[in-house]
Amino acid sequence: MRMRKFTTVAASAAVVALLATACSGGGEDPADGDGDKPTQATSNERSDKVLTVGMPNGEASANQNPIAPGAGSTSFGYAYAIYESLMQVNEIKPNDPPTPWLAEKIEWNDDYTEAVITPRAGVKWSDGEDFTADDIAYSLQIRKDNDELNPDFPGQYGDITTDGSTVTVGFTSGQYVNAVKLYKLLIVPKHIWENEDPVTYTADDMIGTGPFTLKSFTPQSVTLVPNDSYWGEKPLVGELRYDAFKDNPGLTTALTSGEAQWGWVFIPDFENTFIAQDPDHFNQVAGGGFGVDVLYLNNEEKPFNDVAFRKALNMVVDRADISATAGYGVWPQIKSVTGLPQPSGDDFIMDEYKGQELSVDVDGAKQVLTDAGYTWDGDALVDPDGEKVSFTLTNPQGWTDYLDALAIIGEGAKALGADAKVEPVVQDTWFNQVINLGDFDASLHWTDGGSTPWNLYSNIMDGASYVPQGEPANWNFGRYQDDEVTAALADFKSATSDADRMAALGTVQKHFVEDVPGLVIWSRPAVAQYSTVNYTGFPTAEDPYANPQPTGPQAALILTKLKPTAD
C-alpha cells in the first residue's frame, strides 16, 4: 500500500505577510509585530517572572478534561500547555506540511481512509509513566466510542489498532480535508483515564506530556509551572498564569496596563488603544488562512427560507464598511462572490466566478425582490404572503466587532424596507441555546480554517451536519439542505485527485453563489496581542511560525520558544 508521509520539514524561506491593518491610513502597521521595534536582548536561563495569559470568557468551569465540550481548561487555554497534539499545524500557512510532535510521522494511504501513526520515542507523562502507542490508540478510541467527545470525525472512525510500535486508524470515508484535525487531537494518558468515564471525568490532576503542569486552580485564576521532565525544549517561562476577564473591554484594559501579557481579543482602534501605550513592547499580529465569519441565516423560517430575500440581503451588505468600521481593518473584507478569502482562496475560485466581486446594489436587490413577488407598503417591505418582513440579528453581549457588524447589516436590510433589529444576548445563552439549537433569525459565527476551502463551505452548507431545529448542531447552524451539495462535499473529501476535488468544489461553489445559504462577511485571521516586557519569541510577521493565539495546540510550541527579556 502506498502511503503519504509527513515528517520533519524545513521551514519555508518565504514569509507570508500578516493581514492586520491599521484603522486609518498613514500609521505603522502593527502586523509588523516586533519587526520595526528595538531588538529585545534575551536570556537562555529560566526566569522567575510570570507570564499572564488572559481570555475574555468569564470564569473557568471546574472541568480540566481537555477533550470534553465546554471545559474550562480549553476555554482558558491552559490545557494546551499541559496536553499535546500529534503534530504541530501552522494555521497561518495552511499549505505547509505539519511538524512532528507526539507523533514522529503519520502516513496516509492514497484515498485518506487510513493513517499509520508512529509515536515519538522517549516521551514521558508528567507522572513519570512512559508515553506509548497505546495512549494514542486509547485517545482515538474514546472519541470513537463517545459522540460527545468527537466533533471532528462524527461517525467516521473505523478500526483502531496497534502493533506495539505504531497505531493504525481507519476511517469510513476519505479524510483528505480533515487530516489536520487528526494532527491537532490532544492525547491523554490511558493508564489514568481507562479507569474513568472519559465524558464526565474532570481530570483534576491534569497528567500530560506538555511543557507545563498544573499548580493551582480557581475559576478566576489558574497557575502552571514548568514540567522539568519535558521531552522537548525545556521552557524558560518560570510561571504561567491564566486569568479570567468577563468581557472584551476587561481583557483590553488588562493588556494595556500590563496585567496580562498574552491573549486575543478584538480591540477597536487597537493602534491607539493598545499599541501606543508601549510601542516598544506591545504587539498585535494576525495571519491568514481559510477561516471566515459568516452571517448564518435560518433557512427554515421566514424571511430566510426564501432564496430571493437571502440574495437581496447579500446585495445590500456593505462589507467594506463592516471591515473598516466594525473590524477596524483587522478583519479583511470578503470581496469574491464565492465567499473565499484572498489570496488564500485564489486557486480555488472557479473560472466562472473569477473577478466577480460583491458590491452594494440596493436597486438590483429590490428588483430581485420585485421579481419574486415582494411589494412595499410605503417604505415597508411586504413578502408574497402579505406579511411585513422583519428579523432579528443576534450575538453575545460585549462582542463589539460582531455587534457593530450586525448594526451595519441591519442598515442594509432597512434600505430594502425590512425591519431588522440587533438584540445582544448573554454569551452562555448564545453558545448553549441560540446558535447550536437554531433559535435565531441571523447570527454571526466563525468557520474552521483548514488547508482547503472545504471546511468553510461544509460548515455553512453540509447536509451531513444537518439536524432539525431544537437539536444541537455542530455546524450548518442555518439548517441549509441540498442533496447535490452534500454529495459534492463528500466527493471532495474522498477524492484522490485534484481534478476530482475541483469538479466537486465547482458544484458546491455554484450553489453557494446561487442559493446564498449564509453571508460570508470578512475573513478571520488568527489575531493575538502580546507584550515582550518579560518574554519574547512570539510569532511575528517576519516569523509566522504558528497561530499566535494561546488557545490551541500551538501553545506548546510557542511556550518552548519564549525566552526571558533581559533586564
- In this predicted model, what pLDDT tens digit does every residue of 41-79 receive, in sequence order? 788 899 999 999 998 888 888 899 999 988 889 988 999
The mean pLDDT value for 252-256 works out to: 96
The mean pLDDT value for 201-218 works out to: 97
pLDDT in tens, 265-310: 988 889 999 999 999 999 999 877 788 999 999 999 999 999 999 9
Whether residue 16 is predicted with pLDDT greater than 60 in this model: the reply is no
The mean pLDDT value for 434-452 works out to: 93
What is the distance between the alpha carbons of residues 120 and 104, in angstroms, rounded to a whole number?
5
Determine the pLDDT at residue 32: 36
> For residue 473, what are the CA distances in angstroms to 57, 138, 488?
21, 26, 21
- Phi/psi at 40 (nearest 5 deg)? -85, 125
Burial track 357-395 (b if 16+ CB lie within 10 A, e otherwise): ebeeeeeebbebbeeeebeeeeeebbbeeeeebebebbb
Predicted structure pTM score: 0.76
Determine the pLDDT at residue 5: 38
Determine the pLDDT at residue 38: 55
The mean pLDDT value for 154-177 works out to: 94
Percent of the chain with pLDDT over 70: 93
Q: Are 84 and 133 in contact (CB under 8 A)?
A: no
- Phi/psi at 104 (nearest 5 deg)? -75, -30
| Cα 414–chain centre separation | 31
Count CA atoms closer than 13 A to 346's CA, side-chain side: 4
Question: What 3-state DSSP class applies to 484?
Answer: helix
**Of residues 514 and 524, more confidently modeled:** 514
What is the distance between the alpha carbons of residues 215 and 206, in angstroms, rounded to a whole number?
10
Q: How many CB atoms are closer than 10 A to CB 98?
A: 24
Whether residue 160 is predicted with pLDDT greater than 50 in this model: the reply is yes
What is the distance between the alpha carbons of residues 204 and 63, in angstroms, rounded to a whole number?
7
What is the distance between the alpha carbons of residues 243 and 241, in angstroms, rounded to a whole number?
6
Q: Which three cell numbers stand for residue 334?
A: 470578503
Give the model's confidence band at 17: pLDDT under 50 very low, under 70 low, under 90 confident, else very high. very low
Q: Which three cell numbers stand for residue 560?
A: 518552548
**Of residues 177 and 420, more confidently modeled:** 420
Whether residue 539 is predicted with pLDDT greater than 80 in this model: the reply is yes
Q: Please provide the distance, in angstroms rounded to a whole number, between the alpha carbons at the two ends of the chain.
A: 57
What is the distance between the alpha carbons of residues 61 and 188, in angstroms, rounded to a whole number?
20
- Phi/psi at 114 (nearest 5 deg)? -150, 135
